Amino acid sequence: MSSSWAWPPAGCASVCGSAALGSLILMGAVTVVFAFLRLYWAALVAWAVASGVGIFFNINTMSLRQRLVPSHLLGRVISIAGVLAWSAIPLGSLLGGWLIHATRNVAGIYAGIGVVECLIAGAFLLFSPLGHAEDELPSPGTATRSGAEPSAP
């Protein structure tokens, strides 16, 4: 069955890696701004923007995985990525709690987290293959990494 609604789109990887890393940089910047906001409504807007950018990041990383990982390995790769991401949450919570307890500066720690997020995403954008993931994809009409010919739209 052929459909014009193929997902991920064929040109996704040409922007998905950069878009994902750009969204992380934006999320870090919004986190820094959020750290110093004192008005509830302004903080609520910043939190909503950060959440929306987070969703954008998730969509782009999943699309990139679907384009780069062979079908027979995709489930394993997604599972491992999920385990690694969810395993980091309690470690980050413990570290953040310890830093806040040690410094008594919630806003400063929160801003520092945003800066570190920007720096890590920027480093990946500039110095890793993720910043130019389009180079890793086969050209249209050639065999995919799994060895199968791509289906016609």
What local confidence, expressed as pLDDT, does residue 118 receive?
97
pLDDT tens sequence across 13-42: 557 788 899 999 999 999 999 999 999 999
Spans of the chain, pLDDT less than 70: 1-14, 133-153
| C-beta pairs of 125-134 under 8 Å, 24+ apart in sequence | 125/18, 125/21, 125/22, 125/25, 130/17, 130/20, 130/21, 131/17, 131/18, 131/21, 132/17, 132/18, 133/13, 133/14, 133/16, 133/17, 133/18, 133/64, 133/68, 134/13, 134/14, 134/15, 134/17
Structure confidence at residue 84 (pLDDT): 94
Task: Specify the pLDDT at position 16.
Answer: 79
The pTM is what? 0.76
The C-alpha angle 49, 50, 55, rounded to 5 degrees, equals 95
- Chain-centroid distance of CA 130 in Å reads 11
Q: What pLDDT is attached to residue 4?
A: 47
Residues 6+ apart with CB under 8 A from 100: 106, 109
